[in-house]
Amino acid sequence: MAVDLGIADALSGGTRVKPLSLILVALAGSGADAVQSLPAPNCRRLDLPRRLPAIAELVDSAALASRLVGVPIAGSPEVELGLAFPRPSGSPQVWAINPDDTPDAGSRLAGLVQASLRADGAPPGTTLRIHLRADPPIGVRVQRSILCAPVSLDSGGTIQPAVQVTGGVRPAPPQRWNAVIRQRIGADGVVLDARLQPGSGKPELDRLALLPVFARRWRPATLDGRPVEVWLVKDRADLARP
C-alpha cells in the first residue's frame, strides 16, 4: 500500500503542519502489497518474505526525516531503491535501482536511507524495494524485489542435448533424449555449472552434450538492478543461495 500525504490533506481544517511532521506521518505506512509493474517479460516478483514489513520496521523514521529536511535535493526526485540485509551478517545495503535516471539524487537518497535503516529491520537474506519521493508531498512505500532472468548474448536458440557417439569403424546413430538443462550463471554472465535432468546414464555422453552450454555467454540476471548469480531452468531464474 502506498503511503502518500499531500500538503492539501495535511493542512485540511486550517491546521498547520511542519515539514518534519509531514515526513513522519508519511513514513507511518504499513507493509501491505502494492501494485507493482514488472520492467520486462523475463522478470518476476519474489514471493519472499511472505509479509512485507512496514516502513517503521525498516527505517528510523525520525532520523530519515531530519536528514531529508536538512539536505536539499535538486528537483522533485522519485527514486526506487534496492534494500538488502546480507546473510549471515553485515550492515544493510541500499542502492539506486535506476541510477542513470537521477544520478545525483539517487545516490544521495540511498545514502540517507542506509544511514537510517534499522539493522534488525528484516531477517538476514531479505531483499526489498523502497520507492521514495523526497520532496513534499513525501511518499514512501515498500515493494517486493524483482528478479530478472539472464539473457543469452549468443545468436543461437535453446540448446537441445543431442550427441552423436562413434564406436568402432561405423558411427552409431545419433542418440537423443529429452532433458532439461539446469545451469548456474554467475553475476558476470559465465556458466559456472550445468546439469541434465534427467541425464543419459552415461557421464561422458552428458559431458559432451553440455559442452556448448558452457560456451554460452549471458547478460547476467539482476535483482533490483544489481547482477546476481542464479540457477536457470528454461526461462525461470532462481537465486543461487550460498
pLDDT at 202: 85
Q: Which of 146, 179, 200 finishes a domain?
A: 146
The owner of cell 517503521 is 56
C-alpha cell at 82: 534496492
Residues 81 and 129: beta-carbon distance below 8 Å:
yes
> What does the pLDDT read at residue 133?
83
pLDDT in tens, 61-80: 888 888 887 676 766 568 89
158 plus 185 within the same structural domain: yes
Domain count, the chain: 2
Please indicate, yes or no, whether residues 136 and 157 belong to a single structural domain of this protein. Answer: no
pLDDT at site 174: 54
Listed residues 146, 173, 206: the one ending a domain: 146
Tell me what pLDDT residue 74 has: 65
Contact 107, 73 (CB under 8 A): no
Within this chain, do residues 136 and 165 fall inside the same structural domain, yes or no? Answer: no
Cis peptide, bond prior to residue 137, ω within 30 of zero: yes
Q: What is the pLDDT of residue 89?
A: 77
229: left (phi over 0), alpha (psi -120 to 50) or beta: beta
Asked if residue 39 and residue 140 are part of one domain, the reply reads yes
Residues of the chain under the 70 pLDDT cut: 1-35, 70, 72, 74-77, 101-102, 155-177
Question: Do 8 and 120 reside in the same domain of the chain?
Answer: yes
pLDDT digits (tens, 9 = 90+) for 104-127: 788 888 999 999 999 899 999 999
Residue 84 burial class via C-beta count within 10 angstroms: exposed 0-12, middle 13-18, buried 19 and up: buried
Domain check: are 7 and 125 in the same one?
yes
pLDDT of residue 135: 73
Hey, how many other C-beta atoms are within 10 angstroms of the C-beta on 172? 10
pLDDT for 232: 96
Q: Do 147 and 129 contact (CB within 8 A), yes or no?
A: no
142 and 156 share one domain: no
pLDDT at 27: 55
Under 8 Å between Cβ of 94 and 67:
no
Identify the domain boundary among 114, 130, 146: 146
The helix or strand, by DSSP H or E, that contains position 237, with its residue range, turns out to be strand 236-239
pLDDT in tens, 202-228: 888 888 889 999 999 999 999 999 999
Q: Which residue range(s) make up the domain with 173?
A: 151-239
Q: How many CB atoms lie within 10 A of CB 70?
A: 9
Q: pTM of the entire structure?
A: 0.78
> Are 173 and 141 in a shared domain?
no
